[in-house]
Amino acid sequence: MTRATTGGGASRPSTSLKLSDVAFRLIGLALIDAVAIWLLMQMMADGVWILVTLLLIITIGINVVFLRPELYPLRWMSPGLALMLLMVVYPLVFTVYTAFTNYSDGHLLTKQQAIERMTTGLQNMYVPEGGTTYSWVAFQAEDGTYALWLTDEEGNHYFAKPGEPIQPATAGEGIFGPPDENGVPTSIEGYTRLNRIQAATNRDLPNIQFGEPPDAVQIRTPSEAAILQPRYVYDEELDAIIDQKEGKIYYANDEVGFFVSEDGETLNPGYIVTVGWRNFERLFNSPAIRGPVLRVFLWTVVFAAASVITTFALGLFIALLYNDPTIRWRKVIRSFLIIPYAIPAFISILVWRGMMNPQFGVLNRTLFDLFGYSPPWFSDPMWARLGVILVNLWLGFPYMMLVCSGALQAIPSDIYEAAEIDGASMWQRFRHITLPLLLVSVGPLLISSFAFNFNNFNIIYLFNRGNPPMSGTPTPVGHTDILVTYVYRLAFASGGGKDYGYASAITIIIFLIVASITFFQFRYTRMWEEVSENV
């Protein structure tokens, strides 16, 4: 800490700057900036402001760092810091923000986007009262554009092209070929007639307005076309959407993220609004949610603690068993025992699932032969929990074994000799010498292991997807779900509707817990001091 630093704050005694270095750096920066500006222009045109902000921060940051000599050390870190900003810091910030919104199925758009969605597009058009409907036949010109031959209810014919006024027309006159039995020309000069199937399956036709707005005709169904009006119109002054057909007004309600009429009806889609602490209140106050979440939380803690304790106990036991360096084949035995740890966990978990299959798995067949009972690992809540912990024990004990045998070797042997002379039993030596000394060095790793298992997605999800399911919960939850798999269900599993806002609220709770564990660990291991001293 007191070590002298060269030259106050900024550090590098600048080595003689070579011109080629500077040129190289400037050309590199110019290239990066050119790409960034090109991307920024496109993003700004589309209004994706989040991306714009992120890219802007990163680009400006890189420029500053590479142009200011006093920030020289940061140049070396810039790739890592940029990636961290993009893929860790921003997602964290976004998660915190989302936790205070109603972001969920039905509320996936911003207000602006929702208004656009409701006021445009064919599905939001309607035939005004007294409006005319036509039957239609489509023609396609050689250049690919379309035209419609329209027949109204009285039998009058019209020819309509996009962007031009609709003209009355008669088959057999001018460019129009002789009529068929419906009075539709069999051919039109410069056009080919589309048959019914071609016309009905054409994807472009319904989106084209034939004629000049506002009197343009659009196709509504395979048999009908009409002059359509937008049904919903947004009124900026009222901040409301007016239903032209029913004459109803839906006012924007920024509390719930819906346009709501006076009689309480809402328009879909809703939009994203901030809802304050509502997601958290739901978590703590709604009985239907609080119960399952509390159980998930408790199980998460139990699972993580049980995983640490069981793996540590077995690992320590094995480490003690082979602590004597004179044991033959010690290295070979260790290589065998390390195998569960060397196999990628996702593979082992799936293998165990097969071996624990209640009907056919080798473990269950053996247990049935021995005890006449085959544990229902995947359908019974208690057995499922036990199963997860047992599989995790197999996955994790080698790590603890390695860690403990390392730590055991660091305990000086003369302490044991002294204890032996004083007549201490083997158990006493373990209880009063080995364990306390071991915990000092292994303790921090036990805490990391707890934090790791707290978010151990793979074991829970791959073993049984968090099932068996709890009954009577508002969204699907399983008896072996831990918080992180519960979040995954809420955000990505189908059924029950995705609820990002609520999922983010739970994520924040996970953050807080992990942060406190880490804080405790840093305190415990004095990592802060270590960092300060080693700087």
Partner 1 sequence: MSERSLTAIRHSKSRQQQLLRVVRWVLTVILIFYAVFPAVWVLSASLDPRNSLAQQALIPPNASLENYRALFNNPVQPFGRWMLNSIKISTMTSILAVMISALASYAFSRFRFTGRRNLLLTILLIQVFPNFLAMVAIFLLLQQLGNYIPWLGLGTHGGLILAYLGGALGINTWLMKGFFDSIPRDLDESAKIDGATDWQIFSRIIFPLVRPILAVVGILTFIGTYSDYILASILLKDRDSLTLAVGLFQLIDGQYSQKWGLFAAGAILGAVPIVIVYLLLQDYIVGGLTQGAVKG
**461 binds partner 1, rule: CB under 8 A:** yes
> CB 273: neighbour CB atoms within 10 A?
20
Amino acid at 357: N
**92 binds partner 1, rule: CB under 8 A:** yes
**32 binds partner 1, rule: CB under 8 A:** no
- DSSP 8-state secondary structure symbol assigned to residue 269: S
Amino acid at 57: I
Amino acid at 384: A
**64 binds partner 1, rule: CB under 8 A:** no
**77 binds partner 1, rule: CB under 8 A:** yes
CB 237, CB 231: distance < 8 Å: no
- DSSP 8-state secondary structure symbol assigned to residue 206: G
Q: Which of 345, 354, 430, 440 is nearest to 396 (CA)?
A: 345
Instruction: Give the separation between CA 442 and CA 434, rounded to whole angstroms.
Output: 12
**353 binds partner 1, rule: CB under 8 A:** yes
Least distance (Å) from partner 1 to the CB of residue 372?
18
Instruction: Give the separation between CA 338 and CA 342, rounded to whole angstroms.
Output: 6
Which 395-434 residues touch partner 1, going by CB under 8 A?
A: 398-399, 402-403, 406
**321 binds partner 1, rule: CB under 8 A:** yes
**23 binds partner 1, rule: CB under 8 A:** no
Least distance (Å) from partner 1 to the CB of residue 184?
43
* Axis-axis angle for helices 49-67, 72-84 (nearest 10): 160
Q: Which of 106, 177, 230, 340 binds partner 1 (CB under 8 A)?
A: 340
**Residue found under tokens 């936790």:** 99
**39 binds partner 1, rule: CB under 8 A:** yes
Site map (CB under 8 A) of partner 1, residues 473-492, x = contact: -----------x--xx--xx
Provide the sign of the torsion angle of the four alpha carbons 259, 264, 269, 274, taken in this order: positive
Instruction: Give the separation between CA 133 and CA 226, rounded to whole angstroms.
Output: 4
* 330 CB-near residues (< 8 Å, 6+ apart): 322
**14 binds partner 1, rule: CB under 8 A:** no
Find how far residue 523's CA is from the centre of its chain: 32
**504 binds partner 1, rule: CB under 8 A:** yes
**190 binds partner 1, rule: CB under 8 A:** no
**Residue found under tokens 């900036």:** 33
DSSP of 311-372: HHHHHHHHHHHT--TT-TTHHHHHHHHTHHHHS-HHHHHHHHHHHT-TTT-HHHHHHHHHHS
φ/ψ region of 7 (left if φ > 0, alpha if ψ in -120 to 50, else beta) reads left
Least distance (Å) from partner 1 to the CB of residue 512?
11
Site map (CB under 8 A) of partner 1, residues 268-297, x = contact: ------------------------------
Site map (CB under 8 A) of partner 1, residues 124-163, x = contact: ----------------------------------------
Least distance (Å) from partner 1 to the CB of residue 471?
21
Tell me the site size for partner 1, rule CB under 8 A.
104
**520 binds partner 1, rule: CB under 8 A:** no
**80 binds partner 1, rule: CB under 8 A:** yes
**346 binds partner 1, rule: CB under 8 A:** yes
Least distance (Å) from partner 1 to the CB of residue 442?
9
Segment interacting with partner 1 (CB under 8 A) among 66-74, 179-187, 253-261, 289-297? 66-74
Segment interacting with partner 1 (CB under 8 A) among 300-308, 368-376, 428-436, 523-531? 523-531
Nearer to partner 1, 188 or 384 (CB): 384
Least distance (Å) from partner 1 to the CB of residue 13?
9
